[in-house]
Amino acid sequence: MIKKLLIIEDNPENMYLMRYMLTISGYEVHSAENGPLGIQMAREICPCAILLDIQLPEMDGYEVTRALKNIQEISHVPIIAVTSYAMVGDKEKALASGASGYIEKPINPDTFVEEMEYYISKKRYPVEGEPDESSDC
């Protein structure tokens, strides 16, 4: 089964690189350039994971993460912050907002997919009222 991913990223070059690496690794990649569109797409496609930039127009990644975690149907989906915010405390802030993982930009093409898959494999199951690991989403 091909796994669906959603990338929420406003930088076209970063989007292209992530999309390319994930597509050649066998993923079906969907994308959104801002938070509101990303939230809408996440509801529509129910991805297996969401790769999320923190510095976005309209809503920052922390707001997007909190909004996604408040949508029951997709609250279990791992969110991986992929960001250039690399100061002390930024990783903790992303995780505190609900992200499952954190990958610093610039991404390393040699390890990016492996890092992402590590965080996907760390889904927080089972939680009452959420799908089990056999779920399509």
pLDDT digits (tens, 9 = 90+) for 69-92: 999 999 999 999 998 866 778 888
In a domain, 130, yes or no: no
- Indicate the pTM of the whole model: 0.87
Q: How confident is the model at residue 128 (pLDDT cuts 50, 70, 90)?
A: very low
In a domain, 137, yes or no: no
In a domain, 134, yes or no: no
Percentage, residues of the chain above pLDDT 70 = 87
- What is the reported pLDDT for 85? 67
Lay out the sheet containing 79-83: strands in order across. Answer: 28-32, 4-8, 49-52, 79-83, 101-104
Q: Is the pLDDT of residue 134 over 80?
A: no
Q: Quick check: helix, strand or coil at residue 53?
A: coil
Alpha-carbon dihedral sign for residues 4, 9, 12, 15 = negative
What does the chain come to in residues? Answer: 137
Question: Mind listing the pLDDT tens digit for each residue in 23-44?
Answer: 999 999 999 999 999 999 999 9
User: Which CATH number do you get for residue 62?
Assistant: 3.40.50.2300
C-alpha to C-alpha distance for 125 and 53, rounded to whole angstroms: 24
